[in-house]
């Protein structure tokens, strides 16, 4: 499919999980004769949900591109997930579309993700239309949903069509611009055009009047005709509607039933009639890598080749698949590509148009269009490809920082050997993942956006790369330290014939300020401990500190002074002094009021104002200390210092408190003493582990 930029429509399906986005996509593909029968989510046979993890759960987990043709235009439809754990896919999709269809379940109405994608559309300055789906269902009410949309998102959200019939009798739509009725007699999606039924004429006149009154303020000619009482044609309304929609001044609402394929063809008519082409979308922010200057570029500008990678997927057989949107120029299989972000040359393995899991070879992809490139070696999501002499890159999308961590444990040695490669491939396709190796706890930690997100990651690792792992709660990196000064003696004396062992030291332990680390001081006078044995003394202390004494955690913020001791000319050795130092340190540590330290995190929570009280109450129960609360529009930003141990499962907790409308980030702040009672519990749990290690 080769289309000029002005004949392209890149449209995303967004909304809460279960609103019927994937079912609507199926109905659209069927209506456009791309497929010969509609698949069903529950049957696992839809075009867009083809990954085994999606079929198993019955939900979309990744964005899917679904190109189709309608009345001389090419529409790149992008189906997206509806659950917050997979918001990274939504962010990627927003960089590829020029307008948004927010799908709303006619029974459930506006939900958490509806609001979230609306806000994201505002941030990207994209035109938004609403699709009220499932109008064939019992208890569905189009006009009640319209009312709630207008209450939540403003009066400029207005129906362009209204339904004919209700619930099981829903069988068509009235076009308020044309003044015609479209009756759907079967699921083929090809309606009969007729005059408006007499019993619906009053509804038609009422909602057409509302549409005109909403639109006239955007066009002087239209306003003049209205004030003079002249008849306003549908063509004139359409012209004004197109401009107002593009500028986010009006937000059309469409009635459909994806299950019965009612209203879908008229939705497609609207998309090709007044949805913007890539040329008409807001200019994209770009940066000149030579000057550092930030400017904008309109899609289709007469420039050299420029393409943006908005998504990457890892295929165990094909390799890396890079989803690209061409910004300017023409992309061809023999194009010489230069990665602007990394200043490296890239070679195209293959160039395709993608539909679900299927690929169709592409001879060229024009500006504004979407395709995939296979086998790029260096390029990742959020990077720009262009001609060799190109110096501009598209400003990358911002993905949320993952804060929900789990420990990943390989099930076998073979899994361990393959795990790092598999994780690297998975990271390449998901910018909302982060991996960290915690040397202290000897754990590999994966950070994601929630339980479901990381469960899917594990399943994909197993399916794509044959790596089996289990997930566990991460260990907290506690520390041990002292609060008082103590002196202690350590002695090793073994003389049973032949060469013995002898080492003798006196150490003084002193607490240091938090974060100071470790100091070793040599105050030996007169050679009572020879200089050649002093490094062994320090080594004995350091090794003991690394292993810990109270609960097996590293000891920090201590000054150790070697101030006395003795030696034997024959029996003394490095080993003897190392053991003697360890004994002295252990004894002195236990006499110096030892205590556990725990990591404290600076947590920043953003949520609607009505949840502030519950969030603060929960933080107090987690030993948190709120440091500030600031208003951010209708949201509140709560900052608090909270022990890491209390934040390990916080993602699910916040989701529950705020009904999915809150988000948070956290970073390490400092270490603090663990309260006595909690310290006792930690030490008690650590003892069996220490005994096992000794055995």
Tens digit of pLDDT for each residue in 414-444?
998 899 999 999 999 999 999 988 877 788 9
pLDDT band at 1 (very low <50, low <70, confident <90, very high): low
Kindly state whether residues 67 and 160 are assigned to the same domain.
Answer: yes
Of 420, 449, 472, the residue at which a domain comes to its end is 472
Residue 622 maps to a domain: yes
Q: Between residues 236 and 519, which one has the greater pLDDT?
A: 519
Q: Residue 272 has which token pair? A: 């090709």
Beta bridge partners of 341: none
Put simply, whether the predicted model's pTM sits higher than 0.95 gets the answer no
270 and 297 co-located in one domain: no
The verdict on 204 and 260 lying in the same domain is: yes
Rounded mean pLDDT, 265-280: 96
Of the three residues 280, 312, 330, the one that is the final residue of a domain is: 280
Q: What's the CATH number where 207 sits?
A: 3.40.50.300
Edge-first strand order for the sheet with 192-194 is: 161-164, 172-175, 180-183, 192-194
> What local confidence, expressed as pLDDT, does residue 55 receive?
94
**Residues 343-348: what's their mean pLDDT?**
93
Helix (H) or strand (E) holding 249: none
Residue 510: pLDDT over 90: yes
**Structural domain includes residue 191:** yes
Q: What is the 3-state secondary structure (H, E, C) of 653-682?
A: HHHHHHCCCCEEEEEEEEEEECCHHHHHHH
The domain that holds 334 is classified in CATH as 2.40.30.10
| 462 and 568 in a common domain | no
Q: Are residues 118 and 162 in the same domain?
A: yes
Q: What is the mean pLDDT of residues 3-16?
A: 95
Q: Are residues 212 and 103 in the same domain?
A: yes
In a domain, residue 157? The reply is yes
**C-alpha triplet 257, 260, 262: angle, nearest 5°:** 55
Asked if residues 182 and 266 have their Cβ atoms less than 8 Å apart, the reply is: yes
Does 688 score more than 80 pLDDT?
A: no
CB 79 within 8 A of CB 69: no
Read off the pLDDT of each residue in 301-305 and give the average, rounded to a whole number: 80
Write down the number of H helices and E strands in the chain: 16, 37
Last residue within a domain, chosen from 227, 262, 280: 280
Averaged pLDDT, 44-58: 94
Among the listed residues 415, 476, 414, 424, the one whose alpha carbon sits nearest the alpha carbon of residue 446: 424
Structure-model confidence comparison of residues 439 and 64, the more confident one: 64
Q: Say how many Å lie between the first and final Cα of the chain, rounded.
A: 69
My answer on whether 516 and 584 are in the same domain is yes
Q: Which residues pair with 641 in a beta bridge?
A: 602, 625
> What CATH number does the domain containing 426 carry?
3.30.70.870
Q: What is the mean pLDDT of the chain?
A: 92
pLDDT for 689: 55
Residue 95: both structure tokens together: 């960089």
SS (H, E, C) 497-535: CCCCEEEEEEEEEEECCCCCCEEEEECCCCCCCCHHHHH
pLDDT over 70 (residue 691): no
Has residue 257 got a pLDDT over 70?
Answer: yes
Are the C-beta atoms of residues 94 and 243 closer than 8 Å to each other?
no
Q: How far is CA 289 from CA 111, 293, 395, 648, in A?
A: 41, 8, 11, 40
Cα–Cα nearest to 560, from 452, 493, 485: 485
Confidence tier at 163 by pLDDT (50, 70, 90): very high
* Greater pLDDT, 135 or 188: 135
Residue 684 lies in a domain: no
pLDDT at 692 > cutoff 90: no
- Closest alpha carbon to 515 in 676, 672, 682: 672
Structure tokens of 274?
């007044």
In whole angstroms, give the CA distance from residue 466 to residue 237: 58
Radius of gyration of the chain (CA): 33
Query: Does residue 690 fall inside a structural domain?
Result: no
Percent of the chain residues past pLDDT 90, beyond the cut:
77
Report how far residue 451's alpha carbon sits from residue 463's, in angstroms, rounded to the nearest whole number.
19
Vertex 557: Cα angle to 623 and 589 (nearest 5): 95
Is 581 in the same domain as 603? Answer: no
Element (H, E) at 649: none
* CATH number of domain containing 550: 3.30.230.10
Place of tokens 């590509």: 337
Q: Are 559 and 619 contained in the same domain? A: no
Q: CATH number of the domain at 620, please.
A: 3.30.70.240
pLDDT at residue 666, as a whole number: 86
Residue 436: C-alpha distances to residues 432, 443, 649 (Å): 14, 8, 18
Q: For the chain, what percentages of helix, strand and coil (3-state, to nearest 5) are there?
A: 35, 35, 35
Q: Tell me whether residue 694 is in a domain.
A: no
Residue 490: per-residue pLDDT: 96
What is the mean pLDDT of the segment spanning 524-546? 95
Considering the domain boundaries, does residue 689 fall inside one?
Answer: no
Q: What is the SS3 assignment for 194? A: strand
Average confidence (pLDDT) over 391-396:
91
User: Got the DSSP string for 286-355?
Assistant: EEETTT--EEEE-TT-S-S-EEEEEEEEEETTTEEEEEEEEEESEE-TT--EEETTTTEEE--SEEEEEE
pLDDT-based confidence at residue 695 (cuts at 50, 70, 90):
very low
Same domain? 92 vs 190: yes
Instruction: Report whether pLDDT(482) > 60.
Output: yes
Same domain, 76 and 210: yes
Question: What's the number of domains the chain is made of?
Answer: 5
474 DSSP 8-state letter:
P
Q: What is the mean pLDDT of residues 568-597?
A: 95
Sign of CA pseudo-dihedral 109, 112, 113, 116:
positive
Give the residue numbers spanning the domain of 417. Answer: 404-472
- State whether 224 and 349 are in the same domain: no
Tell me, what DSSP letter sits at residue 400? P
Is 291 domain-assigned?
yes
């Amino acid at each position: 499919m080769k289309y000029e930029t002005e004949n392209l429509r890149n449209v995303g399906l967004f909304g809460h999980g279960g609103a019927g986005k994937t079912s609507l996509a199926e109905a659209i593909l069927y209506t456009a004769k791309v497929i010969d029968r509609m698949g069903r989510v529950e049957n696992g046979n839809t075009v867009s949900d083809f990954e085994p993890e999606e079929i198993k759960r019955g939900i979309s987990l990744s964005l899917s591109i679904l190109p189709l043709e309608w009345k001389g235009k090419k529409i790149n439809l992008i189906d997206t997930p509806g659950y917050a754990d997979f918001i990274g896919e939504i962010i990627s999709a927003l960089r590829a579309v020029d307008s948004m269809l927010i799908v709303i379940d006619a029974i459930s109405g506006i939900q958490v993700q509806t609001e979230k994608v609306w806000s994201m559309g505002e941030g990207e300055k994209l035109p938004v239309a609403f699709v009220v789906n499932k109008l064939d269902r019992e208890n569905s009410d189009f006009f009640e949903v319209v009312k709630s949309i207008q209450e939540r998102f403003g009066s400029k959200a207005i129906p362009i069509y209204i339904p004919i019939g209700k619930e099981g009798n829903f069988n068509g739509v009235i076009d308020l611009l044309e003044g015609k009725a479209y009756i759907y007699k079967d699921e083929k999606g090809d309606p009969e055009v007729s005059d408006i039924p007499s019993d619906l004429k009053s509804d038609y006149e009422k909602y057409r009047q509302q549409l005109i009154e909403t639109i006239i303020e955007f066009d002087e000619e239209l306003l003049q005709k209205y004030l003079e009482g002249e008849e306003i044609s549908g063509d004139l309304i359409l012209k004004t509607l197109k401009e107002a929609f593009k500028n986010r001044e009006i937000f059309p609402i469409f009635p459909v039933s994806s299950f019965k394929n009612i209203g879908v063809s008229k939705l497609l008519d609207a998309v090709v009639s007044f949805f913007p082409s890539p040329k008409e979308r807001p200019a994209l922010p770009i940066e000149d890598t030579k000057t550092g200057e930030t400017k904008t570029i309109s899609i289709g500008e007469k420039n050299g080749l420029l393409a943006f990678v908005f998504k990457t997927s890892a295929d165990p057989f094909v390799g890396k698949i890079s989803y690209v949107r061409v910004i300017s120029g023409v992309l061809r299989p023999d194009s010489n590509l230069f990665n602007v972000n990394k200043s490296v040359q890239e070679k195209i393995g293959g160039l395709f148009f993608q539909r679900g899991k299927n690929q169709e070879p592409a001879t060229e992809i024009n500006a504004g269009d979407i395709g995939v490139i296979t086998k790029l070696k260096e390029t990742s999501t959020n990077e720009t490809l262009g001609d060799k002499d190109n110096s501009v890159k598209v400003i990358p999308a911002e993905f949320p920082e993952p804060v929900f961590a789990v420990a990943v444990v390989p099930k076998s040695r073979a899994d361990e050997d393959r795990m790092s490669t598999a994780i690297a491939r998975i990271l390449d396709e998901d910018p909302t993942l982060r991996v960290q190796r915690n040397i202290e706890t000897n754990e590999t930690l994966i950070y994601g956006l929630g339980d479901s997100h990381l469960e899917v990651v594990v399943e994909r690792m197993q399916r794509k790369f044959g790596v089996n792992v289990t997930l566990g709660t991460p260990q907290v990196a506690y520390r041990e330290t002292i609060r008082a000064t103590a002196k202690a003696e350590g002695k090793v004396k073994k003389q049973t014939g032949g060469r013995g062992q002898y080492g003798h030291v006196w150490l003084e332990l002193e607490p240091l300020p938090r974060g100071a680390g470790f100091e070793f001081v040599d105050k030996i006078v007169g050679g009572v401990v020879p200089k050649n044995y002093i490094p062994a003394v320090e080594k004995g202390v350091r090794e003991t500190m690394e292993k810990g004494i109270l609960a097996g955690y590293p000891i920090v913020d201590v000054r150790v002074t070697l101030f006395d001791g003795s030696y034997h000319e024959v029996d003394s050795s490095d080993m003897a002094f190392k053991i003697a130092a360890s004994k002295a340190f252990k004894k002195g540590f236990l006499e110096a009021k030892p205590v556990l330290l725990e990591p404290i995190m600076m947590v920043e929570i953003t949520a609607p104002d009505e949840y502030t009280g519950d969030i603060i109450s929960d933080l107090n129960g987690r030993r948190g200390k709120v440091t500030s609360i600031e208003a951010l529009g209708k949201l509140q930003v709560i900052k608090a210092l909270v022990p890491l141990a209390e934040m390990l499962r916080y993602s699910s907790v916040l989701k529950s408190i705020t009904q999915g409308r809150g988000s948070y980030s956290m970073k390490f702040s400092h270490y603090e003493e663990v309260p006595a009672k909690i310290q006792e519990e930690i030490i008690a749990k650590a003892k069996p582990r220490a005994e096992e290690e000794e055995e």
